[in-house]
């Protein structure tokens, strides 16, 4: 009854093009932001930060990145883990080489470096499409992980082959290293996730996004109306890798603190992020967040239910949990192949007419 667009008239194209054209959506969005920025930081503890919020925000950034490439520009990629590794190792090298420079600049630069690497591995997309491109990006995944294992310079010749994040501060608060507090971890990830989601929205609603979607939907027609496939595809790879690189940098420096490349950034990560965008919804900003939430929250929820609620032994619960998550993914894909974002959109469409649909 409250959720209506009737009476909410737009008098300029600027108003008509806004992200949340319906007033209630706009309010809900501002309310969510207020809760995320003003309330959660004061009540968050280590468990909630490490188990739920921080991984959710970091994977949401990675999912946004992959969604730009796969969901919007239609280029399938299985190299996400490798590109996250580039971000992680880039930020590690920058942090250790230039300790006096602010960590935020390092993280952004790590994103930039990943963007360049991503563009390089995106070059085959000009010639090959679909499954074949997926295989080509798979090569990126394996090559990058191999490279970071093989060349000791990347891990500063440490004996264990691991990289460890030294302590860095913003405004006096530690954001990396063992002394980091839960609110600090949460806030730095939140700021990046919020800013990048906003950038992703801007890019996809403007001409860049239209070029990407044109290439995705019909590349020949796109070229005929004036899209240069070279710049469109490579810009998608660059932006996507920028996002993924930042996610990798945050995952290593803020969340994990220490990482070994094969373990932290293996092919599993690529699949995890790909599942997120498929379940969340291809070509949707909201879907990237929903998918990340689904894949991060569901195991935590199940674990709490099985171990905490039903008192099962931990090892049994861990195996059952994998099976349930797998089954739920299959169920969701059958019920709604276009992901949670479509489910959400359908609910809202129904809600507009509720409770008098006729």
Other C-beta atoms within 10 Å of 178: how many?
10
Q: Does 305 bind other proteins (CB under 8 A)?
A: no
- Here the tokens at position 97 are 């080489």
Residue 164: DSSP 8-state: E
- How far is Cα 315 from Cα 325, in angstroms, rounded to an integer? 16
Task: Pick one of 221, 258, 301, 346: the residue that binds other proteins (CB under 8 A).
Answer: 221
Scan residues 253-292 and list those touching other proteins (CB under 8 A): 283
Give the residue, chosen from 218, 258, 327, 346, that forms a contact with other proteins under the rule CB under 8 A: 218
- Window contacting other proteins (CB under 8 A); options: 136-144, 175-183, 217-225, 259-267: 217-225
Half-sphere exposure of 259 (CA within 13 A, CB side): 33
Q: Whole-angstrom Cα distance, residue 240 to residue 65?
A: 4
DSSP annotation of 171 reads T
Site for other proteins in 2-61 (CB under 8 A): 12-14, 17
Helices (H), the chain: 13-16, 23-34, 40-43, 46-48, 54-66, 80-97, 103-122, 130-150, 182-205, 207-217, 219-224, 229-250, 261-264, 267-280, 285-303, 314-335, 339-353
**Residue 211 interacting with other proteins (CB under 8 A):** yes
Give the CA angle between residues 241, 96, 140 to the nearest 5°.
30
| Residue 203 C-beta: closest distance to other proteins, Å | 6
Q: Which C-beta is closer to other proteins: that of 44 or that of 214? A: 214
In the region spanning residues 147 to 206, those forming contacts with other proteins, defined by CB under 8 A, are 199, 202-203, 205-206
Q: Is 119 in the site for other proteins (CB under 8 A)?
A: no
End-to-end CA distance of the chain: 14
Which lies closer to other proteins via its Cβ, residue 104 or residue 318?
104
130 in contact with other proteins (CB under 8 A)? no
Is residue 313 part of the contact set for other proteins (CB under 8 A)? no
Among 109, 214, 254, 272, binds other proteins (CB under 8 A): 214
**The one segment of 86-94, 184-192, 222-230, 250-258 that binds other proteins by CB under 8 A:** 222-230
220 sits near other proteins (criterion: CB under 8 A): yes
φ, ψ of residue 173 in degrees (nearest 5): -95, 135
Residue 342 near residue 336, CB atoms below 8 Å: yes
Q: Using the rule CB under 8 A, is 108 a contact of other proteins?
A: no
Smallest separation, CB 354 to other proteins (Å): 21
Draw the binding track, 228-247, toward other proteins (x: CB under 8 A; -: no contact): xx-----x------------
| Footprint on this chain of other proteins (rule: CB under 8 A) | 12-14, 17, 199, 202-203, 205-208, 210-211, 213-214, 216-218, 220-229, 235, 283
């Amino acid at each position: 009854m409250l959720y209506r667009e009737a009476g909410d008239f737009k008098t300029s194209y600027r108003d008509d093009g806004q992200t949340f054209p319906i007033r209630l959506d706009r309010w809900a969005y501002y309310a969510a932001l207020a809760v995320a920025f003003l309330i959660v930081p004061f009540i968050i503890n280590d468990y909630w930060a490490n188990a739920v919020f921080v991984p959710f925000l970091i994977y949401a950034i990675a999912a946004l990145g992959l969604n730009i490439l796969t969901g919007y520009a239609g280029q399938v990629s299985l190299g996400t883990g490798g590109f996250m590794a580039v971000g992680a190792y880039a930020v590690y090298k920058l942090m250790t080489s230039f300790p006096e420079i602010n960590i935020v600049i390092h993280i952004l630069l790590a994103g930039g470096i990943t963007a360049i690497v991503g563009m390089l591995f995106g070059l085959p997309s000009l010639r090959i499409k679909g499954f074949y491109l997926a295989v080509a990006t798979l090569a990126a995944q394996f090559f990058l992980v191999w490279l970071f294992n093989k060349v000791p310079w990347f891990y500063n010749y440490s004996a264990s082959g691991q990289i460890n994040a030294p302590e860095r501060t913003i405004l006096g608060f530690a954001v990396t290293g063992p002394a980091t507090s839960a609110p600090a971890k949460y806030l730095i990830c939140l700021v990046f996730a919020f800013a990048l989601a906003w950038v992703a929205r801007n890019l996809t609603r403007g001409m860049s996004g239209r070029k990407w979607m044109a290439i995705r939907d019909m590349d020949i027609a796109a070229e005929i109306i004036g899209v240069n496939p070279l710049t469109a595809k490579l810009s998608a790879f660059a932006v996507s890798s920028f996002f993924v690189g930042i996610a990798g940098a945050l995952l290593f420096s803020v969340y994990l603190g220490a990482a070994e490349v094969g373990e932290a950034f293996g092919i599993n990560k690529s699949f995890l992020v790909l599942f997120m965008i498929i379940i969340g919804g291809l070509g949707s900003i909201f879907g990237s967040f929903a998918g990340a939430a689904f894949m991060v929250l569901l195991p935590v929820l199940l674990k709490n239910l099985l171990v905490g609620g039903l008192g099962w032994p931990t090892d049994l619960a861990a195996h059952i949990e994998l099976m349930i998550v797998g089954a739920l993914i299959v169920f969701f894909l059958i019920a709604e192949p276009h992901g949670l974002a479509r489910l959400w959109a359908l609910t809202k469409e129904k809600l507009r007419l509720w409770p008098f649909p006729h």
